[in-house]
Amino acid sequence: MINIQYKQDCCGCLSCVQKCPKQCISIYEDEEGFLYPKVDNSICIDCGLCEQVCPVLNQAEERKPIEVFAAKNPNEEIRKESSSGGIFTLLAEQTIDSGGVVFGVKWNEHFEAIHAYTETKDGLADFRGSKYVQSQTGDTFKQTEQFLKQGRQVLYSGTPCQIAALKLYLKKEYDNLLTVDIICHGTPSPGVFRWYLSEELQMTAARQNNKKLELSNPSTITSIAKADILAKEQGFKIKDIRFRDKQLGWKKFSFALTLENLSSIQNNEISISSPLNENAFLRGFLANIYLRPSCYACPAKSGKSGSDITLADYWGINSLMPELDDDRGVSAITINSTKGQNALHSTDAKLYTAPYEDLCKKNPSLLKSCIIPEFREIFFSSKQKKGFHGRIAQAFYVPMHQRIKWKVYACLGKLKILFCK
């Protein structure tokens, strides 16, 4: 049976929960806000199926892609709404045109990231755009298997560990299954995201009502309510959450939160937006502070997920192919199988051949797990008195003497360049 002694040995795919024939594996949220499986020993028959579908215990061999591309969706509106170049939508539309089913990640009514499926092109809108929190796979592995056995085309998208888990769950290859993963930096804690939202909503309410801000610090992350309840407590309704808003451009994306003020009749929509270098949640995420423990030793890097296609932002495209960079988003694509090759080349995507070595250099997360930052333990410490924003400010605090030193070095560098001329 699954027995998790160390948190880094569980990637949260929950494949074991879906596979258990006795339904004796439940889910609980830990003190960091991540979901983990828990086995009821009184019901377990020790069949071992849960262990057989675990991507940490059953890691595949590393693979190199067949082809690598920089790519764009020719539909500019779709590209604008997408995180990068809009290629996922092209693959998904192709699947639906064949009478198939597409699985992706959307927000549920509580603004939790969940896996779900759609059979219509209109339903794809919910899947577009990154959700920088770990998604719940629910029963989607079971649903995928049912659709496949019915002979329908299925596209399943997810993180590398989720794709690896799906492959293990299914036990066999299906010609009618197309798997698409991403170059994954790591999955942030859903509980920490609720914490961030709680403070953001409190700060917004204080500004709207011209009141002094008094942030309430939760006793534990698990005690923080769901996002829709948090919003209602402050007099709001959440209408939309975007982690990759492109109003300032693709490379300077922003976190955008759209609220409805329930106490106002006119002009009741409130838009909050902050660029990635200013938004507290994005800064902590990109500094690896509250990623899942398994993300620091990912079991599915270097093509080990078994996906047919891998998608990502093509960071660095401005130096490799400057003519493609319009700051609206360019996708990086690795084709990992003949099936993936056929699927991509059947779309209308604008494709530009790119070197694999360059992609690895600009997207190191393709091959390597991120390093555990020193501040992570301090951030999650129960002894901390500060709230979320206070802890992030502490993580990035630079003493005055260090800032002066950097300023002096910068001035000396400019003088050196000037004299060299």
Give yes or no for residue 402 having a pLDDT over 60: no
Mean pLDDT over 345-361 rounds to 96
pLDDT value for 410 = 60
Spell out the domain ranges in the chain: 7-52, 67-188+290-366, 190-289+385-395
Give the global pTM.
Answer: 0.92
Q: pLDDT, tens digit, for every residue of 135-192?
A: 999 999 999 999 999 999 999 999 999 999 999 999 999 999 999 999 999 999 999 9
Q: pLDDT, tens digit, for every residue of 266-289?
A: 778 999 999 999 999 999 999 999
Per cent of the chain over pLDDT 90 is 85
Helical spans, DSSP H, in 126-223: 140-149, 160-170, 190-209
d(CA 232, CA 163): 36
Work out the burial of residue 123: count CB atoms within 10 Å of its CB; fewer than 13 is exposed, 13-18 middle, 19 or more buried.
middle
- Write the single-letter amino acid at 408: V
CATH architecture of 7-52: 2-Layer Sandwich (3.30)
Give yes or no for residue 414 having a pLDDT over 60: no
CATH architecture of 67-188+290-366: 3-Layer(aba) Sandwich (3.40)
pLDDT value for 407 = 62
- In the numeric block, the tokens 């451009």 are attached to 249
Q: pLDDT, tens digit, for every residue of 44-78?
A: 999 999 999 999 999 999 999 999 999 999 999 99
pLDDT value for 385 = 81
The CA–CA distances, whole Å, from 286 to 206, 226, 373, 401 equal 28, 24, 11, 25
pLDDT value for 121 = 97
